[in-house]
Structure 1
Amino acid sequence: MIEAEAVRDGASPPARETSPDHARRCRAVWWCLWTWTATWTGLRLPGGGGSWHYFAQGSRLLFGDDRGQGLHLYAAHPDLQIGPIAFLVATPLRLLGATPGRLLALLAMSLTGPLVLYALWRLAPARARRPSRLLTAGLLFLPVWAELVTHAGHLDDVLALLFAVAALHAIRSGHPVAAGLLVAASADAKPWAAAFAPLLLAVGRPGRWRAAAACATGLAAAWLPFLLDDGHTLAAASFTIPTATSSGLRALGLTYPRTPSWDRPAQLALGCLLGALTVIRGRWPAVILLATAARILLDPEVYSYYTGGILLGAVAYDLVISDRRWPWLTTGGLLMLYVARLVAHVAPISLHVLGLLRVGYVLVVVAVTLLPRRLRASPYGTPGPT
């Protein structure tokens, strides 16, 4: 079915994964992508890690015993919108010293680009693993990923996304408890990642309750100690930031000067709703894309590193679900969310237009992902109806 649709789309049928020629081309692609990663890491490393100090600070506070530290961390420092797992991971790096710890963290995170691509590549149906698709998607994705892992150094987002990809593998291989724990770990690293929870609906019925119980246990283990020790921990959920003029909120006509009280719950609810719908459609690997799309749409800020998450979701769709030769959703995200912001520095593109592009891309993502199957290429893992 995949080969037939590839021919109809004007693409040549994929080479057999076990053929010597296919293996040789794959090795060439991976050499290219690792070189591309090293190039962007080198470009971003000077002055990189602009957000690393948050992780060093949070790690120090987590293990401190003074007032406002330890289990009082979130109550006393609501601005640290970072999960405890991220602080735990940052701790050994912090102990190396400010500069060595930051550089090692950035280098380690910079290695994750090709690795997460490989993880998604292994999820794709074997006959769809055309090296040209991997190369194109990687060349588009890795510069934006470098914005997240090297320039910003946002360990929490990186961990949340990596755990989510690992959860895809756990679901694919039939390990419900591991899937539940990995989804919980995503939210334990970054709270917005709780929108990945619909992934557990993709677990088969016999294991779904075990997956849900494992997820609840993982969430409770990370967050319940803070809540029980200091009732003001929940106040961290009401922390606000200014609303950027080019945000999706402004483009939607919502002119709140700071984060409205309903915004974070709405992000989570929308992400979960869209995720549940795509699982019902049989396209559960797209949950990452739709959860990050909800964030892009409703978040009051427009930090460039946000784009790394939604582009990872787009790559997951393009490599794992779609069988098109060209990664169209990845390309659209790169142009509408990342390149447009760069061009706006030298061209007369208004901030309002940038906001409209954010909303437009989210609408495209939702439409493409949730269209009826008869209008789409084959869904992941099964032949589509003809």
Structure 2
Amino acid sequence: MTVQRPEEDAPVWPLSRSWLREASRRELLPVWFVLGVWTVLWSAYAVQNLLMRSWGIFPDAARILFSGRATGGLHLYALRPDFQFGPVSVLVAAPLAGLPLHESKWIAGVLMTVVGLWLVAVIAGSRAHDVGVPAPQPLLVGGLLVMPVWPLLSLTSGHLDDVLALGLGIFGILHVQRHHPVWAAALLALAVDSKPWALPFGVALLALPRRHWPKTVVVFGGLIAAAWLPFFIADPATIAAVKFQLHISYGSVLALFHLSGPIPPWVRPAQLVVAVGLGILAVRARVLQAILLATVAGRILLDPAIASYYTAGAVMVAFFMDRSRTWRLPWFTVAVVVLLWAPQLVQPGNDWYLVTRWLRFLWGVGTLAALVLTLLRHGRPAVARQSRSAA
């Protein structure tokens, strides 16, 4: 007979002394060993042909920002409108900007991979309204599913901005659930300051009691303004970064509908509407993890330039969503692995690109539909409880 450890029911905070002590307890050591080996194997596979393809843009941005030249500093985004990441990503990359590129690649790649495994442990210990220490089964299952995919982001592509947006978004949601309005607003704002596509994450703040809304609006809006406005004030040409247009790639779902050339003007607003609409449903149902998954699903479904590392974000937030439910088979996570990640192991070709476009379309539509059904089902009892408490 298995006895439930009292510590597993106690709310703790990741990286606190008690969390680290419990996360390294003896019964978890075999799980950590398996996941460590598993992560190293898939990391080696991820870098066998390509290491940190996009990492160089981050130290480049940091060098421009801190160059002191007339064409540098706050002229960063006017000079390089193709840098579609936020100032927080630049600041985080700055300590590595002075190193040789190859060395900084390895340091950043290892750190981002470790962060991925840490986020799996945090999510494995998360529950509906708080954070606990990870139990062996969720940690093992989550790690086995997520860590083969995560190196696409941390090691193959090296997109620091997405790592920051996802991590800060997850912790922002956890702070909303813990009713820490200032911390929640700050972390969600920093996610937007890392990567603008994280803007819909802010809908989660509506789940806080209304008395906290003015405070969260000030913190959320203030930190976003503090990060971005100096660039626009220093150089009005920074608006070019907002107007920067990607072209629709052959692998994009949009290409299924014979769209090509520059991104249509309706795409970004459509992504925002999808994420915010489902986010409001998630707030109503008190399933805030769905906000992150809806945002990523809308991005993959409608983005003009689909990259393999998008799948890493999808699998992480899908696992976060699965942990919001009573622990069963993590269907949202499995769907990402089967429909988005596994096909990437096949040698690409023109015919296979067409197949993967349809798989992305099916995953995106299916995930959003499943989220709507899940949130509507959860929303009915939540509204009923609110009505009874108001009476």
TM-score, normalised by the number of residues in structure 2? 0.85
Structure-2 change in CA distance of 1:322 and 1:122 (3 Å): same
Shift of 1:85: 0.7
Mapped pair 1:314 → 2:312? no
Shift of 1:87: 0.8
Identity of aligned residues (%): 33
Shift of 1:311: 1.1
Quote the residue 2:253 is aligned against: 248
Quote the residue 2:388 is aligned against: none
Aligned 8 A contact 2:35 2:140 in 1: yes
Instruction: Give the 5 Å matches for 1:1-386.
Output: 16-18=4-6, 25-45=27-47, 47-124=50-127, 131-251=136-256, 253-319=257-323, 321-343=324-346, 345=348, 349-371=351-373
Shift of 1:213: 1.3
- Which AA in structure 1 matches 2:307? Y
Shift of 1:326: 1.4
Shift of 1:17: 4.0
Aligned 8 A contact 2:154 2:163 in 1: yes
Aligned 8 A contact 1:40 1:146 in 2: yes
Shift of 1:363: 1.8
Structure-2 change in CA distance of 1:230 and 1:135 (3 Å): same
Quote the residue 1:4 is aligned against: none
**254-263 vs 88-97, which moves further:** 254-263
Shift of 1:128: 12
SS in 2 for 1:371: helix
SS in 1 for 2:51: coil
Aligned 8 A contact 2:66 2:73 in 1: yes
Aligned 8 A contact 2:285 2:380 in 1: no
Aligned 8 A contact 1:292 1:310 in 2: yes
- Which AA in structure 2 matches 1:16? Q
Aligned 8 A contact 1:49 1:153 in 2: yes
- Which AA in structure 2 matches 1:328? W
Shift of 1:18: 3.8
The number of residue pairs the alignment matches comes to 366
Give, in whole Å, the separation in 1 of the partners of 2:103 and 2:308: 25
- Which AA in structure 1 matches 2:32? W
- Which AA in structure 2 matches 1:115? W
Aligned 8 A contact 1:203 1:211 in 2: no
1:283-340 C-alpha deviation (Å, 9 max, x unpaired)? 1121111111111011011210011111111000112x22242111111111111212
SS in 1 for 2:263: coil
Structure-2 change in CA distance of 1:343 and 1:229 (3 Å): same
Structure-2 change in CA distance of 1:72 and 1:16 (3 Å): same
Aligned 8 A contact 1:246 1:353 in 2: no
Shift of 1:360: 1.2
Give, in whole Å, the separation in 2 of the partners of 1:296 and 1:273: 16
Shift of 1:113: 1.7
Structure-2 change in CA distance of 1:165 and 1:142 (3 Å): same
Quote the residue 1:6 is aligned against: none
- Which AA in structure 2 matches 1:260? P
Structure-2 change in CA distance of 1:373 and 1:58 (3 Å): closer
Structure-2 change in CA distance of 1:228 and 1:246 (3 Å): same
Give, in whole Å, the separation in 1 of the partners of 2:274 and 2:68: 38
**166-175 vs 126-135, which moves further:** 126-135
Give, in whole Å, the separation in 1 of the partners of 2:258 and 2:215: 41
Shift of 1:367: 2.1
**37-46 vs 98-107, which moves further:** 37-46
1:139-168 C-alpha deviation (Å, 9 max, x unpaired)? 111111111011111111101111111112
SS in 1 for 2:84: coil
Aligned 8 A contact 1:244 1:301 in 2: yes
Structure-2 change in CA distance of 1:372 and 1:336 (3 Å): closer
Structure-2 change in CA distance of 1:39 and 1:372 (3 Å): closer
Give, in whole Å, the separation in 2 of the partners of 1:275 and 1:374: 12
Structure-2 change in CA distance of 1:140 and 1:65 (3 Å): same
Moved over 6 A (4+): 126-129, 376-380
Shift of 1:96: 2.6
SS in 1 for 2:298: helix
